[in-house]
Amino acid sequence: MEKILGKSELKSFHKPEEIRDVPSGKIELLTLGGATVGRATFQPGWKWSTSVKPLAKTESCQAPHFQYHVAGILHVRMDDGTEYECKAGDVSLLPSGHDAWVVGKEPVVVVDFQGLHDYAKQH
């Protein structure tokens, strides 16, 4: 079993340390033990290629994600053509190279344990 070093910490998304607004969405960030955890909320109509691509200046999302899907349906299209829909209760691992968008009328909420530390920052 891997040992976790350092002191215990407790933080809450009720008081995020940083908030980044993007068209039709927001990213809330916390840092614990040197790692960044983010909660992303995307409204109906949000699509990475129209909402974040202008900030990232890359052809597809290059941030790898390891995320728990809290609400809504997120459609993902990988650069290799693989597509799937992530729903509440799913856990997804998305390597670099994808687009994603909200399906339907419910906002998508994900908690991301890997890829949001510099997500949606102006480059």
For residue range 27-40, list pLDDT tens digits in order: 999 999 889 999 99
Task: Tell me the per-residue pLDDT of 44-98, one tens digit each, with 9 for 90 and over.
Answer: 999 999 999 988 889 999 999 999 999 999 999 999 999 999 999 999 999 999 9
Phi, psi of 33 (to 5 degrees): 55, 30
Q: What is the pLDDT of residue 55?
A: 86
Q: What is the pLDDT of residue 4?
A: 62
* CA-to-CA dists, residue 88 to 38, 47, 68, 75, 106, angstroms: 16, 18, 8, 12, 11
Confidence at 5, pLDDT banded by 50, 70, 90 = low
Q: Which CATH superfamily is 19-112 part of?
A: Jelly Rolls (2.60.120.10)
